[in-house]
Structure 1
Amino acid sequence: MIEYLPRSKHHAELHLTQFGVEDCIPGHYFGPAVRNHFLLHYILSGEGIFEVEGKRYSLGKGQGFLISPDVITYYQADAVNPWSYCWFGFNGTLAELLLKQAGLTMASPILYYDRNDMIYQYLQLMIESGKCRKARETRLTGLLYLLLSDLVESGPLTLPNPKESLAEIYVEKVKDFIEINYAQKMTVEDIAQFIGLNRSYLCSLFKQRTNTSIQNYLIRYRINKACEMMENAELSIGDISRSVGYNDPLLFSKVFKKVKGVSPKHYRTTEAAAPIAFSGPGQKSSRI
């Protein structure tokens, strides 16, 4: 059984292209050939071989193999105990990243997953999604995310890149937290708890790496976001204030003036309201 799916127009990040299941006859093979999408096979029973980039893998139940786009591969069922497998074809801008998090890459294409029932359940739910009249594509995408999340959860522990120090990782986590939650009420202590480090240690580490404090980074990030919002004439100063984490407009104005040198109102009537000059095709615009 195989089902091919139309090209997704709404889920560019991740979408199924096909899925299926097959009880192979002895010696059944495919390839050598290339695919234009990711194709993940999971072995439900039996045995076979998978060949890629000069390497041969003998595989059985509870294992699988990843075929990456534009890579020549060959696979064949065992002559005595042929495999039965299911497969999921997919693509999208997030596909490679999610596979990498699950420990699956072109250089490491073998999957180890001992929960046959879960894989098969996802397959059955994908088949049953055919009953959906309006939201099948969205449901299939959700099931694919769930499947990959299980593989990530059960996959090998991802270690930090040796070229990237732990300090750099912590600093990036602080920045990410602020960029996602700047509109919420937060303290440096909240950030430290999220990162899982002592507040004083995290502050010292952040200052060493960025030459600014976490508090100052948060303030400037919020004010810069406020400046972007100033261009929307439908938003009042109070609306903007609350949207960047300041419930007190007076405090927001005080902080804004300290950072930008002018009041929010003055900034909006001068900087934010300035006309835009276009230098020409392919060139960045600038305010005049």
Structure 2
Amino acid sequence: MIEYLPRSKHQAELYVTQFGAEECVPGHDFGPAVRNHYLLHYILSGEGTFEVGGTRYRLRKGQGFLICPEVVTYYRADSANPWSYCWFGFNGTLAEWHLKQAGLTLSSPILEYDRDDRISQYLEWMFESRDYAKSRETRLTGLLALLLSELAEFGPAAASGEKGSRAELYVDKVKDFIELNYDRNMTVEDIAHFIGLNRSYLCSLFKRTMNVSIQDYLIRYRMNKACEMMGNAELSIGDIARSVGYGDPLLFSKIFKKLKGASPKHYRSGTDVQ
């Protein structure tokens, strides 16, 4: 039972290429061979072996293995207790990132998931998506994303060497939060609460990593966004101020002039401030 799908023309970040399931006969094998996409196998019953990079893994029900693009692999069902498995083929610019969140990489290709039958449920839903004539591709991508989120939440932790430092993770969270919320009236305390760290500790960590305080980073980000909006003639200076989180246009103008060396009005017109 297998279904192949054409390459997505609309969803370059993450898309399904195939999925299926098979009850293997004793000794059934595949490879050595390479694939041009990611292929995630999950064992429903039985046993078998998976080989990649000179390492052989003995696997059973509740485990699985990841095949990465252009990597030689070989796998074989056990002769006495052959496995049955399902698989999900996919690709996209964010595929590797999603897999890393689940702790699955070329150097760590083994999946551990035995808490429930959710993975086989996602496979069933994928087959049932045939009923969605207009939106099947979107539904399949959504189901794949849900599957990967399940593995990230309950699968093995990503290798520490590939996660980056804890400081970098917290700094990235601060930057992401500011990017998504700079238009709101927020404080550094709000950011710290969202991330779940003590305000003083987070500020110290951010300053040490970025050589700028969170408050200054937020102000600079807002003013740079304001500069981008200056080209929109439909927006007044007050509109721009509110759009970057300042309810008081006078305060916005004062901060803008201090940072950019000209008032918003002069900056927009391109004339020098006197």
Q: TM-score scaled by structure 1?
A: 0.88
Give the corresponding residue for 1:235.
235
SS in structure 2 of the partner of residue 64 of structure 1: strand
Q: Distance in 2 between matches of 1:81 and 1:164?
A: 41
SS in structure 2 of the partner of residue 86 of structure 1: strand
Give the corresponding residue for 1:277.
none
* More moved, 166-175 vs 146-155: 166-175
Tell me which amino acid in the other structure corresponds to 2:23: D
Give the corresponding residue for 2:270.
270
Q: Is the 8 A contact 1:30 1:76 kept in 2?
A: yes
Give the corresponding residue for 1:249.
249
Give the corresponding residue for 1:219.
219
Q: Is the 8 A contact 1:44 1:116 kept in 2?
A: no
Give the corresponding residue for 2:92.
92
Task: After TM superposition, give the deviation of residue 32 of structure 1 in Å.
Answer: 1.0
Percent same amino acid among aligned pairs?
A: 75
Give the corresponding residue for 1:77.
77
Q: Distance in 1 between matches of 2:158 and 2:73?
A: 26
Give the corresponding residue for 1:7.
7
Q: Is the 8 A contact 2:6 2:17 kept in 1?
A: yes
Give the corresponding residue for 1:285.
none
> Superposition pairs for residues 1-288 of structure 1, below 5 Å?
1-158=1-158, 161=161, 165-270=165-270
Per-residue CA deviations over 1:29-67 (Å, capped at 9, x if unaligned) read: 111111000001111011111111222111111111111
Q: Distance in 2 between matches of 1:50 and 1:168?
A: 35
Q: Distance in 2 between matches of 1:83 and 1:48?
A: 6
Q: How many residues align?
A: 271
Q: Is the 8 A contact 2:104 2:158 kept in 1?
A: no
Task: After TM superposition, give the deviation of residue 163 of structure 1 in Å.
Answer: 9.9
CA pair 54-163 structure 1, distance change in 2 beyond 3 A: closer
SS in structure 1 of the partner of residue 117 of structure 2: helix
* More moved, 257-266 vs 223-232: 257-266
Q: Is the 8 A contact 1:62 1:116 kept in 2?
A: no
Task: After TM superposition, give the deviation of residue 159 of structure 1 in Å.
Answer: 6.5
Per-residue CA deviations over 1:89-132 (Å, capped at 9, x if unaligned) read: 00001111111111111111111110451011100100000000
SS in structure 2 of the partner of residue 144 of structure 1: helix
Q: Distance in 2 between matches of 1:168 and 1:20?
A: 39
Q: Distance in 1 between matches of 2:43 and 2:65?
A: 9
Q: Distance in 2 between matches of 1:14 and 1:125?
A: 18
Gaps of 5+ in 1: 272-288
Task: After TM superposition, give the deviation of residue 13 of structure 1 in Å.
Answer: 0.7
SS in structure 2 of the partner of residue 149 of structure 1: helix
Q: TM-score scaled by structure 2?
A: 0.92
Q: Is the 8 A contact 1:49 1:57 kept in 2?
A: yes
CA pair 161-244 structure 1, distance change in 2 beyond 3 A: farther
CA pair 160-183 structure 1, distance change in 2 beyond 3 A: farther
Gaps of 5+ in 2: none
